[in-house]
């Protein structure tokens, strides 16, 4: 029997967050990781001991932004510069984040069923940790 997955399950969302936490530990970082569902609602979250409090909201907004636009948040950076088409978009929707660390979670056919957002270090480290979550998502049964 084939199922039509249109939203990320709690179990799969937690798998993504757990993978992010493992990668953060490997890199000796203290991070926050959030996964949102297809409707951009928080599905799973983890804050490592000692992770920045300000990064809680940033991780959630990165995940939400990645879902709203179905693209990596870092890919939005050039589009939000002064004079560009999406200038000031980060002030919409209750606040968006337009730098690396948010990645949509896509099925093999390209359907987006959620997104991950990570914050707590440099944007390069945030992106590396988020990518670990995406790798876990891609290798997990759906």
Q: What confidence tens digit (pLDDT) does each residue in 107-142 have? A: 999 999 999 999 999 999 999 999 999 999 999 987
Stated pTM of the model: 0.94
**Is the Cβ–Cβ distance between 107 and 46 less than 8 Å?**
no
Structure tokens at 43: 């599905």
Q: Is 5 helix (H, G, I), strand (E, B) or coil?
A: coil
- Beta bridge partners, 46, equal 33
Give mean pLDDT, residues 45-65.
Answer: 98
Find tokens 């510069």 and name the residue: 81
Which residue, 20, 6, 39, 12, is CA-closest to 140?
Answer: 12
Q: Which domains does the chain have, with CATH numbers?
A: 10-139 (3.30.450.150)
């Amino acid at each position: 029997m084939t199922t039509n997955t249109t939203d990320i399950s709690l179990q799969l969302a937690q798998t993504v967050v757990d993978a992010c936490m493992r990668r953060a530990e490997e890199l000796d970082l203290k991070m926050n990781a959030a996964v949102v569902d297809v409707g951009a609602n928080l599905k799973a979250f983890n804050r490592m001991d000692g992770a920045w409090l300000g990064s809680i909201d940033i991780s959630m907004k990165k995940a939400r932004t990645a879902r709203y636009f179905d693209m990596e948040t870092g890919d939005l950076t050039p589009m939000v510069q002064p004079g560009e088409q999406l200038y000031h978009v980060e002030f919409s929707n209750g606040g968006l984040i337009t730098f690396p660390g948010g990645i949509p979670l896509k099925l093999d056919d390209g359907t987006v069923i959620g997104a991950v957002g990570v914050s707590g270090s440099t944007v390069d480290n945030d992106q590396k940790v988020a990518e670990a979550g995406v790798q876990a998502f891609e290798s997990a049964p759906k």
